[in-house]
Amino acid sequence: MVDLRAGSCLCGAVRYEINLDGHRTGNCHCRDCQKNGGGPFMTFTTVPQGQLRWLSRPDGAARASNKAVRRFCSHCGTPMTWDGGENDNNNVSTGTLDDPSGLAISYEIFTRSRWAGLPPVPGARQYEGGTSQY
C-alpha cells in the first residue's frame, strides 16, 4: 500500500514527497531535540530508505553530537530531518508534513528527560533511553 504525502519547511524552499507505507511515528524527549525544537519533544516519522524523495533539499546541516546530522532550511530555520547514519531509515520532522493527519504516536524515547507534568502518550511504548527496538 502506498500512502504518498508531501511536506515542506515553513517558507517552502525545502520540499519533499514521502511514502508513509510501514512508517513509525514517535516523540523524542532527549535534551538535543528539546533544544533543537524549542519545546518539550520533537516528533519524527521514520520510513525506510527509498521512501523519501527530495524535490528541493535542505541546505542547512548541523551536528550537536557525533550521533547525527540535523538537516534544516537555512532560509527559515525549520528542522527537517535527523540523520543518524547507523541504519537504513529516513527520520523526518513530522510537523513538516503538509497533512500529518492519521499518524499515531506509537513510541516515545528518552522519556527520562520528559518535562515534568507532561504525561505519556496513551498506548505509546515508552523507552527511558534511545532504542533501536521501536
pLDDT by residue (tens digit) across 29-62?
Answer: 999 999 999 999 999 999 999 999 999 999 999 9
CATH of the domain at 34: 3.90.1590.10
Find, among 63, 12, 16, the residue nearest to 36 by Cα.
63
Total of domains in the chain = 1
d(CA 116, CA 84): 28
Positions in the chain whose pLDDT score sits under 70: 85-87, 131-134
Burial 73-89 (b: 16+ CB within 10 A, else e): beeeebbbbbbeeeeeb
Residue 77 forms part of a structural domain: yes
CA–CA separation, 126 and 98 (whole Å)? 27
Distance CA 26, CA 61 (A): 22
pLDDT value of position 8: 98
Domain that holds residue 41: 4-115
